[in-house]
């Protein structure tokens, strides 16, 4: 191989590997993007049925039900003051999970329209409202005011 | 009165830093020795005044001066003294003050440890550091002043976030910030080199120890943060790919590329422009990280809107510093001269490939961290990027990196023959197989394909490191003497790579083999997990200085009958009404037992998280080894000799300086 052809080969290999890397990265990126939806948007059918997304809202007071099962199944509802959505979760809830508190859950809708959460987030302090939830609640209230 | 003095001291520090930014720089351009020699005393004076401001704010925290708004928002009279002091850097304004203090400390250190360097160079370095300092001091005084009074003062403070009332927070931010700010030295060296036009191997030799020290602090800071999250957040995770963590990880990745690229620049006078770009990038990401984490941009982009002055200032400052540096690079980069040549098969190639891979890794983290922010800022929907993205991308990038690391440790500088390299790598390859075999034979955990893959990478790093040392010593006339008199930089290199391997082992095994059980338990009940019997002995009330709670006592018994007592706590902090989990952890070299309490259920039962986490300690042990390697390398005699002979060119015999 002449030095010139060798150099061309190296350049071609570099371009190829960069191309593969970029393709891999973008595929992984695309597969793991999670959009945020409010309960109203889920009710309107905007949320995807077959992939995970984030659902946020205020935990409806009095909606938290714990079975006495050993596996810690818990069911509750979140609201954006327009509609409510039932969430099922198995495991330990975060320290700051409370009724009347804004939370974000990550998961998927099941066949019955229940949001099966794999993770429930309620970090930060007691005054903190996740920004997406704050926006969803504001939108929900505005919508209600517009249609008395 | 004292807070006002602190405020005043900050203003004086700003005036000094303005002088320090302008006069030495102009002096260096004109060759005015008097103007240049202003840089050193100015840097020291700046440190004095910023330290005064820092002391004033600390005083306000210690004496519970709640008329200072920042103290009132982040402290409380019931807070223990140690946490009242560390509360200073618990929020935005105070952490900025810590930042400028550390920047002044680094500048002062440069002013003392630069005796042998040319005066014009030192003047430029300190001036560039002062420019950064001017930006931060202005930012503090204009938008984020920690000394503002709130009158009449509240009866008591709003308390420090209980998550931050912990030993981890006392040391984690200062470590991390020392690392962040330390990259400003490398950055300033790069800028000063660009202005002065002498970016050669001598320049790289001056910059190396500073960069390594900063990198060590950053490594330890990140490890401490991970450790803190592990024991304090109550769910046993050690890395979440959270934007806040990514903000510290990105400068680390570029910083790692930088220390390697600098080594090549020093030894072989190559990659000069790439090294300079990495120095600018590492510091740029440190700046970005500082602002992202503390200014509230990350939890919500709308924090920008709530205080537009802050957001605009941050953006303007970033554009000015990084944009300015890149423009200077574009303008002066050509003056760097031709790099030495090297063959395709040479250590240079492997080093370059790895620094490119590290940069790619950094780019993927940057994409995943900033894309959601940009999309939200443009009102195009709210998204988040899940941890699987980072995991999926990181493994394919790190795999070639590890393989090339092994090859690079054996390849010669300048030119090597592929066939020779392959022959030399037969022993390390055998070593890898033996190490892997031993691991698989002794640990049942290590038998899944993914575990074998991860352990093989770690074994490869270890055996090529050992192979490199053996090969080097055997070439000498007396191998044992060569072994005992290994240069510190060489020893440090292998120590750090060994640390990297240890971390790989930790990451692999804890990610694949952690067993978790979330269950309901009442006192007196037993649960079984991974061969351990967990006995919930009793739940007793608990009372601390500013919290009350429950302590759950557990007895964990192994199959062979040895028992350990562990207690997990649930605390409720009075002032903020915030519940906190204190996990009960039995640390071990090969596994941690981890118990944390969820919430009280009816009739005395609790939801409980039980975990057995194999090799989790190796994560942080590896980081400590990496930092130890960096520190060792820093003390190489070569870097000290520089001080005595400033204009000396490269000492390595094989170096071909143009």
Q: Bigger pLDDT: A144 or B233?
A: B233
CA distance B616 to B592: 7
Smallest CA–CA distance, residue B443 to chain A, in Å, is 30
Is residue B204 within 8 A of residue B266, CB to CB? The reply is yes
What's the rounded Cα separation, in Å, for the pair B209 and B115? 15
What is chain B's mean pLDDT, rounded? 88
The tokens describing B282, both together, are: 């590492």
Report the distance separating Cα B360 and Cα B366, nearest Å: 10
Cα angle B531, B535, B540; round to 5: 150
Which is more confident, B578 or B15?
B15
Q: How far is A92 from chain B (nearest CA, A)?
A: 6
For residue B278, give both structure tokens: 């990495």
Interatomic CA distance for residues B255 and B396, integer angstroms: 20
* Of B16-20, B168-172, B206-210, B650-654, minimum mean pLDDT range: B650-654
Q: Are A70 and B519 within 8 A, CB to CB?
A: yes
Q: Is the pLDDT of residue B382 over 50?
A: yes
Q: What count of other Cβ atoms lies within 10 Å of the Cβ of residue B192? A: 27
3-state SS, residue A108:
strand
> What is the structure's pLDDT at B256?
97
Tokens of B401: 């990196």
Q: Residues near B658 by Cβ (< 8 Å), separated by ≥ 6?
A: B269, B337, B338, B340
pLDDT at A130 over 70: no
**Chain A contacts of B594, Cβ < 8 Å?**
none
| Over residues B125-142, mean pLDDT | 95
Are B517 and B610 within 8 A, CB to CB? yes
Average pLDDT, chain A: 82
Residue B312, pLDDT above cutoff 60: yes
Three-state DSSP class for residue A96: coil
* Segments in B144-271 forming alpha helices (H): 167-196, 201-232, 243-268
Q: Do B609 and A92 touch (CB under 8 A)?
A: yes
- Residue A129 is predicted with a pLDDT of 59
Whether the per-residue pLDDT at B655 is higher than 70: the answer is no
Lowest mean pLDDT among B44-48, B337-341, B362-366, B463-467: B337-341
Per-residue pLDDT tens over the stretch B56-85 = 999 999 999 999 999 998 899 989 999 999
Predicted confidence band of residue A119 (pLDDT cuts 50, 70, 90) = confident
Question: B537 exposed, middle or buried (CB, 10 Å; 0-12, 13-18, 19+)?
Answer: middle
How far is it, in rounded angstroms, from Cα B349 to Cα A1? 20
Q: Check residue B243 and give its pLDDT.
A: 83
Considering only alpha carbons, which residue of chain B is nearest residue A91?
A: B518
Mean pLDDT of B310-335: 85
Indicate the residue of A35, A90, A106 with minimum beta-carbon distance to B382. Answer: A35
Residue B116 vs residue B320, higher pLDDT: B320
Window from A2-6, B22-26, B425-429, B497-501 with minimum mean pLDDT: A2-6
Identify the band that residue B411 occupies on the pLDDT scale cut at 50, 70 and 90. confident
Asked if B357 and B260 touch (Cβ cutoff 8 Å), the reply is no
Question: Is B393 close to A28, i.e. CB distance below 8 A?
Answer: yes
Residue B118 in this model has a pLDDT that exceeds 60: yes
Asked if A92 lies within 8 A of B599 by C-beta distance, the reply is yes
Contacts of B371 in chain A (CB under 8 A): 29
- Encoded tokens for A107: 């998961």
Task: Please write the tens of the pLDDT for every residue from B507-550.
Answer: 999 999 999 998 989 999 999 998 899 999 999 998 988 899 99
Which helix (H) or strand (E) segment holds residue B376: the answer is: helix B347-377
pLDDT exceeds cutoff 50 at B305: no
Element (H, E) at B542: strand B532-543
B564, β-bridge pairs: B556
User: pLDDT at residue B203 above 50?
Assistant: yes
Share of chain B above pLDDT 70, in %: 94
Nearest C-alpha of chain A: how many angstroms from B527? 11
Q: What is the pLDDT of residue A147?
A: 62
Picking from A34, A71, A125, the nearest residue to B386 by CB comes out as A34
Task: Retrieve residue A36's tokens.
Answer: 């945020």
Residue ranges per domain, chain B?
2-390, 425-513+618-626, 515-615
Residue of B nearest to A89 (CA): B518
CB of B76 closer than 8 Å to CB of B165: no
pLDDT over 50 (residue B658): no
Q: Is B586 exposed, middle or buried (0-12, 13-18, 19+ CB in 10 A)?
A: middle
| pLDDT bucket at A126, cuts 50 / 70 / 90 | very low
CB B88 within 8 A of CB B57: yes
- C-alpha angle B221/B115/B35, rounded to 5°? 105
pLDDT at B647 (0 to 100): 43
> How many helical (H) and strand (E) elements, i.e. helices and strands, does chain B have?
23, 10
pLDDT at site B298: 59
CATH 2.40.50.140 describes domain A36-146: yes
- Angstrom distance (rounded) from CA B256 to CA B252: 6
Please state the pTM of the whole predicted model: 0.91
Q: What is the pLDDT of residues B272-287, one digit of tens each?
A: 889 999 999 999 999 9
- Rounded to whole angstroms, the maximal C-alpha distance in chain A is 81
ipTM of the complex: 0.80
Tell me the shortest Cα–Cα distance from A37 to chain B, in angstroms: 8
pLDDT in tens, B556-615: 998 888 899 999 999 988 887 778 888 999 999 999 999 999 888 877 889 999 999 999
Asked if the model's pLDDT at residue A125 lies above 50, the reply is: no
Q: Answer yes or no: are the C-beta atoms of B53 and B9 closer than 8 Å.
A: yes
Inspect the interface and report whether the beta carbons of A35 and B383 lie closer than 8 Å: yes
Beta bridge partners of B516: B611
Q: Which one, of A104, A130, A139, A94, lies nearest residue B299 by Cα? A: A130
Q: Does B381 touch chain A (CB under 8 A)?
A: yes
**Among B94-103, B184-193, B479-488, which stretch is predicted with the lowest mean pLDDT?**
B479-488
Residue for token pair 């925290």: B61
- d(CA B344, CA B346) in angstroms, rounded, equals 6
CB neighbours of A112 closer than 8 A, spacing ≥ 6?
A: none
3-state helix, strand, coil in chain B (%, to 5): 65, 10, 20
Pick the more confident residue, B434 or B298: B434
Q: How far is CA B372 from CA A24, A122, B213, B239, B616, in A?
A: 19, 19, 33, 19, 31
Alpha carbon distances (Å) from A29 to B105, B298, B364, B388: 41, 19, 9, 9
What phi and psi values does residue B58 have, to the nearest 5 degrees? -60, -45
Q: Tell me what the mean pLDDT of segment B385-403 comes to.
A: 89
Please tell me if residue B360 touches chain A, with a CB cutoff of 8 Å: yes
**Residue B572 near chain A (CB below 8 Å):** no
More confident residue, B98 or B652: B98
SS3 assignment for B588-656? CCCEEEEEEEEEECCCCCEEEEEEEEECCHHHHHHHHHHHHHHHHHHCCHHHHHHHHCCCCCCCCCCCC
Per-residue model confidence (pLDDT) at position B307: 63
Q: How confident is the model at residue B224 (pLDDT cuts 50, 70, 90)?
A: very high
Average pLDDT (B608-629) is 95
Sign of dihedral through CA atoms B633, B634, B640, B646?
positive
When mean pLDDT is compared over A4-8, A67-71, B592-596, the highest value belongs to B592-596
What residue ranges do the domains of chain A occupy?
A: 1-33, 36-146
Alpha-carbon span A122 to A102, nearest angstrom: 7
- What residues have CB less than 8 Å from B206, skipping those under 6 apart? B114, B117, B121, B189, B642
Across residues B119-135, what is the average pLDDT? 96
Q: Which residue has the higher pLDDT, B74 or B302?
A: B74
Nearest residue of chain A to residue B159 (CA atoms) = A125
Opening angle at CA B105, ends B101 and B108, nearest 5: 140
Residue B182 has, within 13 A of its CA and on its CB side, a CA count of: 25
Q: Is the dihedral of CA B238, B239, B244, B246 positive or negative?
A: positive
Torsion of CA B8, B12, B13, B15, to 10 degrees: 140
Which residue in chain A has the smallest CA separation from B522? A70
pLDDT one-digit tens code per residue, A26-39: 888 888 888 888 89
Q: Which of residues 2-31 of A touch B (CB under 8 A)?
A: 6, 10, 21, 24-25, 28-29, 31
pLDDT at B406: 92
Q: Check residue B123 and give its pLDDT.
A: 96
A83 SS3 class? coil
DSSP H or E run through A74? strand A73-79
Percent with pLDDT over 90 in chain B: 58
pLDDT of residue B295: 62
Stretch B497-507: mean pLDDT: 96
What mean pLDDT do residues A86-102 have? 86
User: For residue A106, what are the CA distances in angstroms to A52, A89, A122, B374?
Assistant: 7, 10, 12, 21
Taking 60 as the threshold, does the pLDDT of residue B651 lie above it? no
Computed on alpha carbons and rounded to an integer, the radius of gyration of chain A in Å comes to: 22
At B649, the pLDDT band (50, 70, 90 cuts) reads very low
Average pLDDT in the A13-28 region? Answer: 83
Q: What is the DSSP string of B256-293?
A: HHHHHHHHHHHHH---HHHHHHHHHHHHHHHHHHHHHH
Cβ atoms B26, B131 nearer than 8 A: no
């Amino acid at each position: 191989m002449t030095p010139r052809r060798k150099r061309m080969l190296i350049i071609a290999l570099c371009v190829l590997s960069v191309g593969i890397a970029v393709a891999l990265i973008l595929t992984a990126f695309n597969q793991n993007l999670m959009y945020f939806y409010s309960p109203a948007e889920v009710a309107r059918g905007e949320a995807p049925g077959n992939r995970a997304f984030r659902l946020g809202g205020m935990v409806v007071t009095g909606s938290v039900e714990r079975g006495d099962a050993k596996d810690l199944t818990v069911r509750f509802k979140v609201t954006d003051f327009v509609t409510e959505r039932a969430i099922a979760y198995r495991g330990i809830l975060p320290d700051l999970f409370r009724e009347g508190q804004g939370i974000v859950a990550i998961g998927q809708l099941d066949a019955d329209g229940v949001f099966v959460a794999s993770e429930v987030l309620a970090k930060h302090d007691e005054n903190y409202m996740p920004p997406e939830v704050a926006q969803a609640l504001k939108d929900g209230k505005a919508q209600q005011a517009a249609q008395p | 009165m004292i807070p006002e003095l602190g405020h005043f001291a900050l203003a004086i520090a700003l005036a000094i830093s303005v002088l320090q930014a302008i006069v030495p720089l102009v002096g260096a351009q004109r060759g005015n020795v008097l103007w240049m020699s202003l840089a050193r005393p100015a840097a020291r004076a700046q440190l004095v005044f910023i330290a005064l401001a820092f002391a004033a704010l600390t005083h306000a925290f210690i004496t519970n001066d709640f008329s200072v708004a920042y103290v009132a928002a982040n402290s409380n009279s019931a807070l223990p003294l140690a946490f009242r002091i560390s509360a200073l850097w618990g929020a935005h304004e105070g952490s900025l003050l810590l930042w400028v203090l550390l920047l002044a400390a680094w500048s002062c250190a440069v002013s003392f440890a630069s005796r042998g360097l040319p005066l014009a160079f030192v003047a430029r370095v300190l001036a560039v550091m002062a420019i950064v300092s001017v930006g931060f001091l202005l930012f503090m005084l204009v938008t984020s002043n920690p000394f503002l009074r709130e009158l009449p003062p509240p009866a008591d403070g709003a308390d420090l976030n209980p998550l931050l009332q912990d030993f981890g927070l006392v040391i984690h931010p200062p470590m991390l910030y020392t690392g962040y700010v330390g990259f400003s030295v490398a950055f300033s060296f790069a800028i000063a080199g660009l202005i002065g036009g002498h970016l050669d191997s001598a320049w790289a030799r001056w910059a190396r120890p500073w960069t390594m020290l900063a990198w060590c602090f950053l490594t330890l800071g990140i490890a401490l943060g991970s450790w803190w999250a592990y024991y304090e957040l109550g769910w046993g995770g050690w890395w979440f790919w959270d934007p806040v963590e990514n903000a510290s990880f990105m400068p680390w990745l570029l910083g790692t590329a930088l220390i390697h690229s600098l080594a090549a620049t020093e030894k072989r006078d190559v990659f000069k422009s790439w090294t300079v770009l990495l120095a600018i990038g590492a510091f740029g990401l440190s700046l970005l990280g500082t602002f992202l984490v503390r200014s509230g941009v990350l939890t919500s982009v709308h924090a920008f809107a709530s205080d537009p002055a802050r957001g605009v200032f941050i953006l303007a400052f970033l554009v000015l510093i990084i944009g300015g540096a890149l423009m200077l690079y574009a303008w002066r980069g050509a003056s760097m001269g031709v790099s030495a040549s090297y063959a395709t098969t040479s250590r240079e190639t492997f080093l370059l490939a790895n620094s490119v891979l590290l940069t790619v890794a950094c780019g993927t983290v940057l994409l995943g961290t900033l894309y959601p922010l940009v999309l939200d800022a443009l009102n195009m929907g709210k998204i988040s990027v899940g941890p699987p993205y980072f995991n999926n991308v990181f493994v394919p990038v790190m795999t070639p990196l590890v393989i090339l690391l092994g090859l690079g440790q054996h390849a010669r500088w300048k030119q090597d023959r592929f066939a020779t390299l392959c022959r030399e790598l037969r022993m390390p390859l055998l070593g890898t197989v033996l190490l892997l075999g031993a691991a698989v034979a002794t640990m049942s955990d290590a038998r899944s394909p993914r575990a074998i893959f991860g352990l093989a990478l770690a074994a490869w790093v270890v055996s090529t490191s050992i192979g490199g040392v053996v090969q080097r010593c055997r070439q000498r006339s007396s191998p044992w003497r060569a072994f005992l008199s290994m240069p510190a930089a060489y020893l440090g290199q292998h120590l750090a790579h060994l640390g990297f391997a240890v971390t790989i082992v930790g990451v692999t095994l804890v990610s694949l083999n952690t067993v978790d059980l979330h269950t309901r338990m009442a006192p007196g009940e037993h649960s079984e997990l991974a061969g351990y019997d967990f006995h919930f002995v009793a739940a007793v009330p608990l009372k601390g200085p500013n919290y009350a709670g429950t302590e759950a006592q557990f007895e964990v018994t192994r199959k062979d009958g040895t028992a350990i007592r562990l207690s997990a706590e649930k605390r409720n902090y009075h002032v903020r009404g915030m519940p906190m989990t204190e996990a009960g952890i039995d640390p071990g070299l090969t596994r941690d037992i981890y118990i944390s309490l969820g919430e009280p259920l009816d009739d005395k039962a609790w939801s409980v998280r039980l975990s057995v986490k194999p090799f989790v300690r190796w994560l942080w042990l590896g980081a400590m080894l990496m930092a130890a390697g960096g520190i060792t390398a820093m003390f190489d005699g070569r870097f000290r000799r520089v001080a005595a002979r400033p204009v000396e060119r490269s000492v390595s015999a094989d170096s071909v300086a143009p």
